[in-house]
Structure formats: C-alpha cells, structure tokens
Structure 1
Amino acid sequence: MTQVRSELSRYLRTETVGGALLLIAAALALLWVNSPLRDSYTAMAEAVFAIPPLHLEMPLAQWVSDGLLTVFFFVAGLELKRELVIGELADRRRAALPILAAIGGVVTPALIAFVIGFGQPGMDRGWAIPVATDIAFALAVLAMTGSRIPAGARVFLLSLAVVDDLMAIILIAVLFTASVSMLWLVTAAASLAGWALAQQRRVSTPLVYLPLALLSWYALHEAGIHPTLAGVLLGLLTRVRTDPGENEAPAARLEHLIQPISAGLCVPLFALFASGVPLDGKVFGQMFSDRLALAVIAGLLIGKTVGIFGVSWLSVRLGLTKRPAELGHRDMFALSVLGAIGFTVSLLVAELALADVADGSPAELAKAAVLVTSMAASLAGSALLLRRGRVHQAARDARAQERDDREHRTSDDAEAVPGKGEGSIK
C-alpha cells in the first residue's frame, strides 16, 4: 500500500504539471486563432501528413487527436487498472462511490443535453459532448487550490475522472463507428490478445510490445473504430502486480516512462489544436441563445455537478458507499463542480459529432461552449475548495491546540504530584 500511495502521489504531481501546460496551450491557441495570425494556425492544423504504404493520410490536427491522444488514454487505462487491482478501487465499498458518481456524471449531463438540444442538427450524437471530466485539468485545479483538503479528495477525483473517461471512450467507439471491417476488427483483437499473452508469459522486450501496440491502433483505425480505444484496452491488459524479486510491475514502469510524455506533450498538443476557436461578440451572442451551445453548457455545468453530487449523496445516505475519510458533503459538492471541467474528451467528442454538420460552425460553437464552461467550473470549484480548505485547516489547528493544551495540563499535573517533577520533595 505504501508503494501504491507513492505511485499515486507521483501521478498527481505529473498530472498537475500537465494540467498547467494544458492551460498554457489552450490559452496560446485562443490567442493565436483570435489574432491576425489566425491563417497560419489554420494552415498548420490542416497540413496533411501521409504514410503511403499504410494508406494513412490525415491532417496534423487529426494525427494529434487520433494518435497522440491514444498515449493519454493508455496512461489512463494503466492508472485505472492499478486502482482496480491494488489501489483504492480494489475495496468494493470504496470503489463503489467514484464508480457510481461517474455513472451519474455521465447519464445526467447526457439527458440534460439531449432534452435541451433535441432536434438541433448534430444532437443525435452531440448529447455525448458533456459526459467527460478532464483528468489533467481537474487535478491541476485541485492541486493549486485544494492543497489543504484531505488526501481522499484527490483519490476520489482521480478515480472518478478515470472511470468517467473510460465510459466516454466506450461511447466514442459506439457512436462514431459508421461501419466495421470485421477483418481489421479480428486483427485488432489478435494484437490485443498477443499483448495480454506477452504480459502473462512475462515478456519484457519492447520489440514485442511496440509492434503490437501500433498494430492494434492501426487495425482499430482501419476497422472504423476510433483508435484511441486501443490505448485504454492496452492499459487494462497490462500487469500491475509485481512478481517475487521484481522491483516494479510493467504498469508502473510504463507509467514512469510514458506519463510525462502524455502530460507534458500529448495532452498540451491536443489542447493547442482543439482550442483554436474564434471568440468574438458573435460567438458569445450565439453561445447563450443557440440551443446546441446551451445544451453543452447546461449538460456540463449543471448535469455533471448534479449527477456526481446527487448520486454520491444518495449512495452514502443509503449505505451503499462510504465517503473518503474526513470529507463532508460540502467537500463532495466542491469536487463535483470540478467534475464539470470537460476539456480534453469533450472537445474530442465535439469534433467527432459536429465536424460534418453544416459548415462546421456548430462544432466551433460547441467547442467554445466547452471552453467557457470548463473555465467557469474551474473558477467556481476553486472558490469552493479554497473555502473548504480554510475550514479543514481551522479544524486541524483546533485539534493541534487541543493536543498542546492537554499535554500542557498533563505536564502541570505531573509537577504538582509529590515525588515527580524537578521541585518535588523526596
């Protein structure tokens, strides 16, 4: 358990830095696309790169969202596997709370978005835009403003976001697969089975795993399924328990190696290409009048908060789950607001669901709604966390003062008893 806590601490530190880089990349994209240099941004994003032997030809922005983002989901899959097997989620009652909260945080915003946006072009799949919580962004906000909140908050938010993103990826695989090539699907399954077999046989050379990973990604792409699913599946198939005499399990080694690349390069690059949304008076006007944008805003800000907190509160009240140690309902509400930060995956779903609708303007409007709502959720969550942090710090100070007073009284009593203390008469 000490090793698990150490791994969790390292993960959180890396994701915090990654979250800060994500914010910088998003801000850069917004400044770039809303400046006189916007044409250079568009040219870069739409530059086509091809691998002729594999018949792969995609714009740079798609290479980032389909390729580099797979690395991010691989790390998320590794983290989820570790939490499920040897971490906080290995205990069923502890695991139940973030899992049920994640389900509430997916179903509620989807229903709200569907009802508000019903009949709008693209909303047959656009209701899935507000279902995901951004791991890096949310953890970065928690680290910066919730340092005085008990550590259980970080475990809860991390577990919630990982389960949440896994469900979002499953939705992506289901919703955005028009037709499936069975031959390539079988190839993908075979490559995944080869990865699992190599793990079982304790194969350690990357000369086996790298080709299997690339083949599974390519096979899912050719099968018509969004290839980021390969990252999650490979992560879940990786061994997390150490063998006798083994210093680190493969999952831990891979996290050490790949997570800094994911948090420091892959996610910020995705944010750079996904956040390039024109934000002018026209966009802001449409954002609060267009039903599609309102569906995204309400789904994220209201749906995620109500879904996560409502299910958490109800499950604890019914005795189905147990809150993390030292966390109250108000702490859980603050964390639920952070769950409304739907940056990375929400932007990805917006691109997939709405890119071909009309002239692409609905996708731009939905992405603007995601950006603005995520920022609002981060500010509101930060304010709540700072307030709760002061409450927890005051309680810790009061307990410390009570201990000091008790020790002082014990010392005074000892000096007053004959035969004890410096001034006693023997």
Structure 2
Amino acid sequence: MTAPRTDSRKALGRLSLPERTRVVEALRTETVGGVLLLAAAVLALVLANVPGLRDGYASVRDFHLGPAALGLDLSVGHWAADGLLAVFFFVAGVELKRELVAGDLRDPKAAALPVIAALCGMAAPALVYTLVNVAGGGSTAGWAVPTATDIAFALAVLAVIGTSLPSALRAFLLTLAVVDDLFAILIIAVFFTSDLDFAALGGAVAGLAVFWVLLRTGVRGWYVYVPLALVVWALMYNSGVHATIAGVAMGLMLRCTPREGERTSPGERIEHLVRPLSAGLAVPLFALFSAGVSLSGGALGDVFSRPETLGVVLGLVVGKTLGILGGTWLTARFTRASLSEELAWADVFAVAVLAGIGFTVSLLIGELAFEGDAALTDEVKAAVLTGSVIAAVLSSVLLKIRNDRYRRLCEAEERDEDQDGIPDVYEQDDPEYHLRMAEMHERKAAEHRRLAEVMGGAGDQHDSPA
C-alpha cells in the first residue's frame, strides 16, 4: 500500500495560531499607521494647493537645518526622506529578519509563494513602465518607481472599507510587502547610489560591526545603541549610499528567536517599541513633506499624456496586478503548492490589485530617479498618487464583492464552541478536541431531553382533571 504524499502545500492555507496572532497584531498597528499616512497625504495636498497656504508649506519644507560641518545641513523634506524613513526601514529590516528565522520565509516551500509573487510584482511594473517610455520616447530612469507596495496605505484601505480578509490572505499581503521592501532596498542601494566616499562608508561599516558585537555580547541600554545608530546613519549618508540602508542593516542584525527563559526575542521587543514610532510619526511626516504636489487640471492631464507619468500609473495599476496574480498562479501551477480550498482566485486578484497602492517607497524612488528635475519629480509624485488612488478604488470594489465570503470564513476561524479560548479550527485534528466536542454535544442533548420531560410533565398536569 502506497503511503499518501505529505510534501504538498496549500498556498495561502490556514496559519498556525501563533503566526495568526502575530499577523493580527501587525495589521492593527499598520492599519492605524495607514490611516495616519492617508490623513498626512491629504493634508499635504491641501497645503500645497490652497493659495493662502502654499507658500508657507513650501518654506517649511525647504527650510534647512543641521550641522553643515558634518555634511548634514539638510532641508526639512530631506530630513524626512533620509532621516525619518531610516526608522521605517529599520522596522522593515527587523520584520524581514523575523520572517527569515521564525516566519514563513524560513521554510523554502512556504517562502516560494510570497517571494515569487513579490519578484513578479516588481518585474512586471518595471517592464510596463519601460515599454511605455520606450514606445513614447520618455525617460526610462523611473523604471523602479512603480515597483513598490505601500503596506500601510493598503491596510488603511482595508480599514476604511471594513473588509475582513481571511488571516492567510492578510499574511500573504504582509509577507509579500516585506519581500517587496527588501528588493526595493536593494534597488535603492544598487541603482541610486551616488559617488562613493569610501572613508565614510568604511566608518559606517565599522559602526555596524560595533553594533553587531554589542548585540552579541548582550550589552543593553538605549543610551548605547541610539547614539551609535545616529553615527552609523550620518556616516552612511555621507558615503553616498542612501542613508535608509543603515536602518535596514541594523534591523537585520537583531536576534529574532527567543532563547530559553525569554518570552520574546530582543528583535520582537524592539520592533514592538519602534513600530508605533515608524507607523505613527516617521512615515506620516515623510508623506506630509513629500506628497505636497500641485494637482491642477493641467497637471493631472499631464499624468496621462507624458510617458514617464503614464508608465508609473500603468505600472502600479496594471503591472502590479498582473505580476502578483501571475506569480501566484505560476507557483501553484509549477510547484507542489496549491491554492487553499477556502479561497478563490478572485480573492488573490483583489489583493493583487490592492498591492498596486504604491506610496512611501515609490515617492522616495521618484525623488531619487529624477533628482535635479523638480518639475518632473512633482509630476511623477502626482502619478504615484493617481495610480495609488485608482488601485485603491478598484480593489475596494473587488473586496466589497468578496466581503460576504470573507465574513463567513472569518466567522468559521473565530468559532469556539467548546469555549476553551482556542478557535475550533485549530483543534480539528486533535483527538482530545473531538472527545470534548462529543461530551459537550451529549450534555446538550441530555439537557434538551430533561427540558422535554419537564415540559411534558407540566403539560400532563395541566391537562389532568382537578
């Protein structure tokens, strides 16, 4: 008798209970951050387009501060892009490290789906952008602008429309965004690095080495690590490598597996502390000083007439959708993975459209790609906003259509008939669970029989002659 195969894997199947709990916590924080990000972006657009506020907004954004002797005399907008976003990328680095050592990316079979989907979801928008600009005679310098997904903005859309996604599908979106962030970081490091200052770069590497040694020797105290992190960031900025890379590198160095006697790892504790700072302050302030572009009728018309801006819009709306959906289908078609029976391809399609919301990293890459051309940079930012809004609207419609199905799935996941605090779906393969359920149903049946006997006896007394 041939033993059944056990090496197949359900793509987007049910998460383990601890992983599901972690995803819910991350979603809660990111969703709040996404709402703040959305509010900051709207405020930036108002400040940049209301005549009485436009000049004041521009003067604050362009105001310079910082020690010039250290090469850090930067505008407020520059501080937001290079300084505050380093906090965002630090959290991304910790999240990536956690996924690599303790999450889905630890298992190559499980990692195949989000990695392939993320790679295809970055390659397809870049290809769409390049084809549009080659055909239209535009600049191909912005090929990387539509490749990034803004997870906070995407989750903010979910919060606004009130959709309850199955936990596995939400985890797929989160993990895909983590992988997306990793490759966006690599793109910034490889393609948008200016002339290198090897002395400053060597100093940054030495600082990172000291950071690593301190972590491994168990040195504790924010007063040690925060000043060191600032020094590493400043050296990385002056080296010509984008300063956010320093945040990623330090995040990847943190230990994300708990040791004996530890409830949580240092990486998880620090991420828990820093994530609200990133989602609630760093990213919204970046949006406040980067999303303020003119949205006059002429500017919006140019978004669909210039190849550079049209390529960004089509890359986000069309390229992202085709890339992620195609990558997921290829994984299910040519590997042992198969789509979970609880989900339909329409669900994956809706999330693929949702991933077309590009904001934080797309705005950053747009500034780097067209540095020196302020007018084109603003037009590309307007294209990022336009493409993100289109993706948000389309995905909202699709998710609303699937809403009833999601609600039923979530109700099934949350059902806890034996009231032991663990959803029944996680106990279905446990023999003790089936014994408890049988005992519970027997008790209910006995209670119904006793109630029927009482009611029957009462009826007999009522009907008997006095």
Q: Judge same fold: TM > 0.5, yes or no.
A: yes
Instruction: Choose which of 375, 378, 390 in structure 2 pairs with 1:361.
Output: 375
Q: Does 1:91 align with 2:103?
A: no
1:186 aligned residue? 202
In the TM superposition, 1:64-103 aligns within 5 A as: 64-103=80-119
Cα distance, 1:399–1:297 mapped onto 2, change above 3 Å = closer
Q: Is the 8 A contact 2:164 2:410 kept in 1?
A: no
2:354 aligned residue? 338
The 1-side partners of 2:377 and 2:268 are apart by 38
Instruction: Choose which of 51, 55, 58 in structure 1 pairs with 2:67.
Output: 51
In the TM superposition, 1:254-293 aligns within 5 A as: 254-293=270-309
Cα distance, 1:230–1:164 mapped onto 2, change above 3 Å = same
The 1-side partners of 2:163 and 2:253 are apart by 33
2:385 aligned residue? 371
Cα distance, 1:136–1:339 mapped onto 2, change above 3 Å = same
Cα distance, 1:172–1:122 mapped onto 2, change above 3 Å = farther
Instruction: Choose which of 110, 126, 130 in structure 1 pairs with 2:142.
Output: 126
Query: Once the two structures are superposed, what CA deviation does each residue of 1:102-154 show, in whole Å capped at 9, x if it has no partner?
Result: 10011111111112113889834211110100021112223443643211111
Q: Give identity over the alignment, percent.
A: 46
Q: Is the 8 A contact 1:283 1:365 kept in 2?
A: yes
2:35 aligned residue? 20
Greater CA drift, 69-78 or 204-213: 204-213
The 2-side partners of 1:399 and 1:285 are apart by 47
Q: Is the 8 A contact 2:166 2:410 kept in 1?
A: no
Please list every run of at least 4 consecutive aligned residues from structure 1 whose deviation after the TM superposition is greater than 6 angstroms.
Answer: 119-122, 395-400
2:23 aligned residue? 8
The 1-side partners of 2:313 and 2:81 are apart by 23
Report how far residue 386 of structure 1 moved.
Answer: 1.8
Structure 1 counterpart of 2:42, one-letter code:
A
Cα distance, 1:114–1:198 mapped onto 2, change above 3 Å = same
The 2-side partners of 1:271 and 1:324 are apart by 37
Q: Is the 8 A contact 2:166 2:409 kept in 1?
A: no
Q: Is the 8 A contact 2:138 2:306 kept in 1?
A: no
Q: Is the 8 A contact 2:71 2:238 kept in 1?
A: no
Q: Is the 8 A contact 1:304 1:340 kept in 2?
A: yes
Q: Unaligned stretches of 5+ in structure 1? A: none
Q: What RMSD over aligned residues (CA atoms) do the two structures have, in Å?
A: 2.9
Aligned pairs, how many? 414
Larger gyration radius, structure 1 or structure 2: 2
Q: Does 1:390 align with 2:404?
A: yes
Cα distance, 1:316–1:43 mapped onto 2, change above 3 Å = same
The 2-side partners of 1:151 and 1:393 are apart by 11
In the TM superposition, 1:295-374 aligns within 5 A as: 295-323=311-339, 326-357=342-373, 360-374=374-388
Greater CA drift, 326-335 or 151-160: 326-335
Q: Is the 8 A contact 2:196 2:241 kept in 1?
A: yes
Q: Unaligned stretches of 5+ in structure 2? A: 1-15, 418-437, 457-466
TM-score normalized with structure 2 length: 0.82
Report how far residue 73 of structure 1 moved.
Answer: 0.7
Query: Once the two structures are superposed, what CA deviation does each residue of 1:57-111 show, in whole Å capped at 9, x if it has no partner?
Result: 1111000100001001111111111122112322222221111111001111111
The 2-side partners of 1:265 and 1:354 are apart by 26
3-state SS of the aligned residue for 2:74?
A: strand
Report how far residue 396 of structure 1 moved.
Answer: 7.3
Structure 2 counterpart of 1:369, one-letter code:
A
Query: Once the two structures are superposed, what CA deviation does each residue of 1:215-264 show, in whole Å capped at 9, x if it has no partner?
Result: 22112111101000111111111111112222321111111211111111
The 1-side partners of 2:194 and 2:203 are apart by 19
The 2-side partners of 1:143 and 1:48 are apart by 37
